[in-house]
């Protein structure tokens, strides 16, 4: 029996989502894109990923409609930024759920702690959902930011989707 290489087109939505999101590095690239990373060099530095692997994963995320590739000038060269599309931005609840699950059921010697979601409107921590846990106001994407783990400081506005 031959090994399945794609779940694309299968009736199961979990299998189709896994086909797009379950490759090694893909979720980490999306995590960083959600936190505002857009440039190849920044992804490479932040993730410690090999150039060839990063190139392949970014291309697949562009092909699958989760990122869009936008040119910019860097000195005399044209380079590209990778920005979240609506589909990429809509993966945020999946990242939250995986982070919460990983925090609850896995461990590391020097765990940094999970990224926390901050409702900028009131400045308090909240969980993904429709309303802020602290003030009760509706959660709007533009009013949300990440609070980084203890290894990094400050809050990072969620990246704006393109398109």
**pLDDT score for 43:** 96
**Which helix (H) or strand (E) segment is 87 a member of?**
helix 86-89
**Which string of b and e fits 74-92 if b means at least 16 CB within 10 Å?**
eeeeeebbbbbbebbbebb
Q: φ, ψ for residue 76 (rounded to 5)?
A: -95, 0
Helices and strands (H and E) in the chain: how many: 6, 6
Residue 111 CA: distances (Å) to CA of 50, 114, 115, 145, 158: 23, 8, 11, 21, 23
pLDDT for the residue numbered 158: 54
Domains of the chain: residue spans and CATH: 13-157 (1.10.10.10)
What pLDDT, on the 0 to 100 scale, is given for residue 29? 95
Give, for all 163 residues of the chain, the pLDDT tens digit. Answer: 555 677 788 888 888 898 889 888 999 999 889 888 999 999 999 999 999 999 999 999 999 999 999 999 988 999 999 999 999 988 888 888 888 788 788 887 765 666 677 888 898 988 877 889 999 999 887 777 777 654 444 445 555 555 5
Which residue bears the tokens 């990246």?
159
Give yes or no for a contact between 33 and 156, defined as CB atoms under 8 angstroms apart.
no
CA dist 102 → 55, 115, 134 (Å) = 27, 12, 24
Neighbours of 53 (CB within 10 A): 15
Residue 152 confidence (pLDDT)? 42
Q: Residue 105: what pLDDT?
A: 87
């Amino acid at each position: 029996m031959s090994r399945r290489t794609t779940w694309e087109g299968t009736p199961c939505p979990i299998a189709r989502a896994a086909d797009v999101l379950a490759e090694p590095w893909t979720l980490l690239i999306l995590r960083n894109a959600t936190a505002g990373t857009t440039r190849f060099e920044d992804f490479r530095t932040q993730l410690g990923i090999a150039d060839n692997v990063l190139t392949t994963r970014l291309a697949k995320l562009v092909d699958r409609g989760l990122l869009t590739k936008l040119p910019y000038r860097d000195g005399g060269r044209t380079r590209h930024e990778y920005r979240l599309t609506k589909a990429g931005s809509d993966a945020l609840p999946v990242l939250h759920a995986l982070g919460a699950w990983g925090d609850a059921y896995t461990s590391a010697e020097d765990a940094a702690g999970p990224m926390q979601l901050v409702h900028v409107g009131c400045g308090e921590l909240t969980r993904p959902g429709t309303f802020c846990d602290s003030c009760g106001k509706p959660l709007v994407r533009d009013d949300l930011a990440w609070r980084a783990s203890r290894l990094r400081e400050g809050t990072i506005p969620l990246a704006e989707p393109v398109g």
